[in-house]
Structures are given as structure tokens and as C-alpha cells.
Amino acid sequence: MSTALFRPALVTGASSGIGLAIAHELARRGHSLVLVARDPGRLSVAERALRDAHGVAVQSIALDLGEPFAAESLLARLAALRCPPLDVVVHNAGFGVLDPFATCSPDTSDAMLALDVAFPVRFTRLVLPSMLERRAGRILIVASTAAFQAGPFMAVYYASKAFVLSFAEAIAEELRGSGVTVTALCPGPVPTAFQARAGIGDASLLTSLLAVSASRVARAGVRGMERGRRVVVPGLLSRVAVQALRVLPRAFAARVVRRMQEQRGQRPAGATNQR
């Protein structure tokens, strides 16, 4: 395929993991791509791989989306590239940290909220008018099954995913009938570089029956987005777990997550044996 069939798809956090897998899925469907991530070297590798594999136009922008006014900076970079109006926006960039809230650096918490919450909200607001004017556009926001319960030892990360899930569902309803759709993708455990950055040493959960590959998550997310679904939870067992969380007492669910987090790596500093 030598030319893209659709307007460009922008994918953040696109140099590896779920973001790169989503970029491959979109390229298979004929979208040209704009990849956004912090590391220019890894972006360059991803750009070449996507172009060689699918024959679509691929451009990359190295940018820290957690910086102030990153949304405006990204729009300016797109304009400088003479990028046509975006057909698809995928908000995938984000990170989490396994650490008790009382000892987690305030700067780390702020950076997490800037990247996981503030950027997707602001950039979505900036690109929506163009999509609404064209009555066409799809927005995919990568949340997590973490969005459905509290997360001791990853409190800010879990709360950020609850925020983006609620945000996605709310604006999806606001936009109903407009030609623009919003989809929240909520995967369970996925083996990616995310775990290393989060400080999760024991990845035993990732080999459990709940684990789903990045490529499978990407297929489910893009397919759900194309169908206009508001929430996509890849994997049958993850969907069952999410439904169970709706009826379990929230305090009990939080204790289960606490034990799970303690088993995923070194016991978090400051944690006690209290239950």
C-alpha cells in the first residue's frame, strides 16, 4: 500500500508496547501515522519498522507530553509538518509508580498527573472543534482495568485511570450523534516496558490467565474504536473481573489490590502488615 487511505492517526507513547502495537493496527487499515514519544532514537526505529511493514507515510515527533503547554507544542509541530486534520487520536502515553503515596515524590505524582490526565484532556479539547466541524473523528484513550477500583501503593496511577475512563464516557455521550466517537480502552496486565518503569520487580501477574499481549489489546481497541464502542476491555477473564468489581465491596477490592501489589515486587517501603 503506497498511500494512506485515511487522514492521519496520531498515537502518543508510540515507540513501544501498546502504543506501537496500536500504530501497527492503524497502519494495517491504511492510516498514515504521526508517532509521538520522548525518545527520538526509539521513535526513529519504530518509524522505520512501520513504514517498511505497511508502506504508509509515517512521521514522528519527539516531545515530552508531561511538560507545560505540551498540547499546544504538539499542535504547533503538526502545523509545521503541514499535517492534514487528524482522523484518529490515540492517547496512550502514561506511566505509573509502585510506591506508597506517603513516600512517593510529589514531583513524580505531579508528572504522572500531567502526562496521564492533563495532556489527554487538553489536547482532546484542542482537536475536537476541527473534528466536529468535519463531523468525523475517533479518539481512543488508553485507560486500564485499574480504573474500576482503588489501587493501594499505586494510588495516583489508579486514580488517573479512573479519571480518564469517566472523562471518555462523559464526552462520548456529549458527542453522540456528532460523527465523533470516544473510546476508552481498559486492558488488564500487559507485558510491556511499563512494569520496569513502575518499579514492579515480580511480574508473576503478567503470566497469569489475565495477561493479554499488546498486539491483542491493540486489535481489540482499534476494532472497538472503529465500531464506536465507548469502553473496551480486552480478554474474557478481564471482563469477568471488571463485572465482579461492580458488586464487590470497594474496601474488600482495595485490600485485594493491596495484597496483589505487595506480591508483584519488593514489599513497598513504609508498608505494614496491617489489613
- Rounded to whole angstroms, how far apart are CA atoms 58 and 248? 45
Q: Helix, strand or coil for residue 145?
A: helix
- Which is the catalytic residue, given 153, 157, 158, 167? 157
Summary count for the chain: helices (H), strands (E): 10, 7
Cα 138 to its chain centre, rounded Å, is 15
- Rounded to whole angstroms, how far apart are CA atoms 210 and 187? 10
Alpha helix ranges (H) inside 135-274: 155-174, 194-198, 214-226, 236-247, 250-264
Task: Identify each DSSP E strand in 103-155 by its residue range.
Answer: 137-142
- Annotated catalytic residue 157: yes
Please name the residues in contact with 168: beta carbons below 8 A apart, sequence gap of 6 or more.
139, 141, 143, 182, 183, 184, 230, 231
How many CB atoms sit inside 10 A of residue 78's CB?
20
Residue type, position 210, single letter: L
- Rounded to whole angstroms, how far apart are CA atoms 255 and 17? 29
- Rounded to whole angstroms, how far apart are CA atoms 182 and 100? 33
88-91 and 137-142 as β-strands: parallel, antiparallel, unpaired? parallel
Q: Helix, strand or coil for residue 58?
A: strand
**Positions marked catalytic:** 157
